[in-house]
Amino acid sequence: MSEYLPGLAGVPATKSNISSIDGEKGILAYRGYNIQELAAKSTFEETALLLLDGELPTKEALDDFDQQLRGERKIKYNIREIMRNLPATGHPMEMLQTAVASLGMFYGDEEVLTESYASEDLYYVHNMSVKIIARMATIVAAWQHVRRGYDPIEPRFDLTHAENFMYMFSGLEPDPLEAKIIDACLIMHAEHTINASTFAAMVCASTLASPFLVIAAAIGTLAGPLHGGANQRVVEMLEEIGRPENVKDWLDMKLEEKEVIWGMGHREYMTKDPRAIILQKMMTEWVEKKGDLSPMFETALALEEACEEALGPKGVYPNVDYYSGILYSEMGIPSDQFTAIFAVSRIAGWMAHWREQLSDNRIFRPTQIYTGPDFRDYVPIGNR
């Protein structure tokens, strides 16, 4: 194939049985299970194991996986010391990439793949997946305290993955609704076919780099505003608009200037992102619990309505980033941590793709269409 397609749009890069999307109908499925059903009935622990192993686990298998995750929540003091020496004003995603990449230096006896057949060691692959999934949550939660000059909160082993994350993040045990929302958010962000960060992970994995470096590559890719960083931009956008009555004039100006409307549109969906539908419903539950409608949520609803009229005919509707940032903001989570929480969830999908890539590995080596000058002779500097 010699045709150049910018961004490899529509070019199959691999075969996978992890997740699928029906963009016309607005359906996302993990291993064949609709995300709507998983968000309503499953847990992050169960969904992560589904992604890793391919089937819904038995109760015994899930209990064992849950206990393994709880047992790997702690990180070595060396990692905390690295975090303490990073600039407090640095972005959490830059911290996360640094910390995850450094994990391999302190768990070095566990992390090296030198031969492709090492992927057949399912004990190794599973254990590395457990360790990284558990420690990612701890690192993100710890940074919330370390960057303010405090010691991180130690994990609790009597709480679920979502409950413990919020406990370590805020210092308070979450109430049932808060825990339910965070757990559902982790499920919905866990996997989404071959997106940019997953592809970055696969490319890195194809070289047989350590899983810590594989995930560090994915984190760096997720950080961009055209990928995971969009939810932070959504909140900044809504703060700029201010009130629902400002929406129409603001949108008209942005469309005239051909600027991005953050959180609107998705390459894969011609309908509203199914995850956005779930998030909007959870946002409504949260608002009902609080007893009032926040100005940001009111503004978001007004902007969605205006965008549906202006952009709906083009197949542009809210994506997952549109309501996730609002929901996190309403729960008191700083906007610069939104994407890091995205990574805490997406690690399950990344590890599933790491395993799948290794199972039938071939190093990625795409070609290019050269557009430079023809061959020419070197000219000495005095003759230039």
271-294 pLDDT, tens per residue? 888 998 998 898 888 888 877 767
- pLDDT in the model for residue 316: 85
What is the DSSP code (8-state) at residue 29?
A: E
Asked if domains 32-223+343-359 and 230-330 share a fold, the reply is: no
Q: What is the mean pLDDT of the chain?
A: 91
Non-local CB neighbours of 191 within 8 Å, separated by 6+ positions:
18, 19, 30, 51, 346, 348, 349, 352
* Mean pLDDT along residues 341-361: 94
Q: What is the pLDDT of residue 108?
A: 61
For strands 19-22 and 27-30, give the pairing. Answer: antiparallel
Q: What CATH number belongs to 32-223+343-359?
A: 1.10.580.10
Q: What percent of the chain has a predicted confidence (pLDDT) above 90?
A: 65
CB 218 within 8 A of CB 199: no
Per cent of the chain over pLDDT 70 is 96
Instruction: Please confirm, yes or no, whether 189 is among the known catalytic residues.
Output: no
Confidence (pLDDT) at 46 = 98
Q: How high is the pLDDT of residue 324?
A: 87
Q: Which of 266, 353, 360, 374 is catalytic?
A: 266
Higher pLDDT, 122 or 365: 365
Supply 69's token pair.
């995750």
For 50-93, the pLDDT digits (tens) are 999 999 999 999 999 999 999 999 999 999 999 999 999 999 99
Domain ranges of the chain: 32-223+343-359, 230-330
pLDDT above 70: residue 2: no
Span of 106-115, 173-182, 312-321 with lowest mean pLDDT: 106-115
Range of lowest pLDDT (199-208, 224-233, 305-314): 224-233
Instruction: Say yes or no to pLDDT of 110 above 60.
Output: no
What ranges make up the beta strands (E) of 16-97? 19-22, 27-30, 33-34
Spatial distance between the Cα atoms of 331 and 320, rounded to a whole number of angstroms? 17
pLDDT given for residue 120 in this prediction: 62
Task: Classify domain 230-330 at the CATH topology level.
Answer: Cytochrome p450-Terp; domain 2 (1.10.230)
pTM of the shown model: 0.91
Identified catalytic residue from 66, 183, 273, 321: 321
Asked if 249 is an active-site residue, the reply is no
Q: Quick one: pLDDT band at residue 116, thresholds 50, 70, 90?
A: low
What is the per-residue pLDDT across 148-206, written as a single tens digit (0 to 9) for each? 999 999 999 999 999 999 999 999 999 999 999 999 999 999 999 999 999 999 999 99
